[in-house]
Amino acid sequence: MNPAKDSASLLIAQDRLAVALDVPDAVAALSLVDRLGDTCRWLKVGMELYYSAGNDLVMALCERGYKIFLDLKLHDIPNTVVGGVRSATRAGAGLLTVHASGGEAMLRAAAEAAGEPGAPRLLAVTVLTSMDAAGLRSVGVPVSPADQVLRLARLAWTAGIRGVVCSAEEVGALREELGPDAFLVVPGIRPAGSASDDQKRIATPRDAIASGASMLVVGRPITRAADPAAATRGILNEISEAIRI
């Protein structure tokens, strides 16, 4: 064993994992964060928690030393989305999601706003991991999830956004299409043996990293665990193993 090498591997793994704070309010969020301790570096704040606790919670988590992935999936007219990007910047978020389906004008406006000092890196959401081909057809999209993800990722890239959210099923193709500079974030991660819950397109941490993911998002396998810190360490070990492959 090489302790220094193992420690470096752990630090790299921590930068490639975002723990989703899938809880309803600030009290529950801070309680969960206390249980996670220093096992993780990135925390994802989604819509339910953000609508309850707002920027005050984001700033409080930043003050504790965490990096914040603000998952608001902004999708509105360009001017409104620009305002959302600026609000996230003031709060100190490091990552922020926008819907690629908002169109090129919206994406370009968001990218321009994210060019300001201290602004978060933007991630374009392509097709939600809860959607499959049948779900896409129900909203008038007649192509496969893989085709739609690639189409929306190209649109976001053209608009100047270098981060994309996709499932593990598409990450390999996107890595090949967009190259090494793309920041590819994969939700729907489930350690081996975990329940899939409401996710359709899922993968293990090891498989997602090996396929080209830059960062993984893990929620319920950690937040519903009896020991969230231990669950986090287990996932970090899987990421570390994949990095060493």
**Catalytic residue ranges:** 73
Q: What are phi and psi of 67, to 5 degrees?
A: -95, 140
Q: Are 216 and 205 in contact (CB under 8 A)?
A: yes
The amino acid that residue 187 corresponds to is: P
E strand residue ranges, 87-223: 95-99, 121-125, 163-165, 183-186, 215-218
Three-class DSSP labels, 44-109: EEEHHHHHHHHHHHHHHHHHCCCEEEEEEEECCCHHHHHHHHHHHHHHCCCEEEEEHHHCHHHHHH
What span, in angstroms and rounded, lies between the C-alpha atoms of 91 and 7? 31
